[in-house]
Amino acid sequence: EKSKAIKLQLDQLKKDIIFQYNNDFPTGLTIDNNWFEKVIQKSTSQNVDEVEFFIYHINESIKNAPFKKIPQKNGKYKVGLSDGRIKGIKQFKNIFETFEIEKYNSNRIRVTSITDNTITDFEQWMNSKEYSINYIGKHLSNFKMILREIKNIELNIIIKDIKIINEEKESDDII
């Protein structure tokens, strides 16, 4: 648990450095040890509550996946997501982090800033990467699931049914 927390902090520091570099370098500001020291100090002294960021909730979903109650048709519950489903959520996290870096210049997305436009941006970004319709649908479904799991935070979005269109797979009939 402690190593995961450290990794998250280092990942955030990396994002903060990239963001600040992208802002400062074009202005001609000298990027040197003093610059790094200021950026690191600013990044590590922020008193931001991690729960405000969507990536935090993705991590929570992954952490809680083995204990999640899944309703069954017979009125009972199954406990825990399958290994494949957990792997899919981890893939979604990686895709979403890349989306934040590329689309939002490494600015982490706050839960309260998520709108229908954010989801549309995510879908269009994935289309621009030429992911398959099924792969995009899978990650839109993960996005929707995590939004539904978030409690006690006012969202600026109405979670609509996200239609998942399955591409027909070509059969590999051997003659």
Span 25-75, pLDDT tens digits: 888 878 888 788 778 877 776 555 778 889 999 998 998 888 888 888 888
Contact 103, 125 (CB under 8 A): yes
Q: What is the pTM of this model?
A: 0.63
What pLDDT does residue 1 have? 66
- Mean pLDDT (the chain) is 82
CA 144, chain centre distance (Å): 11
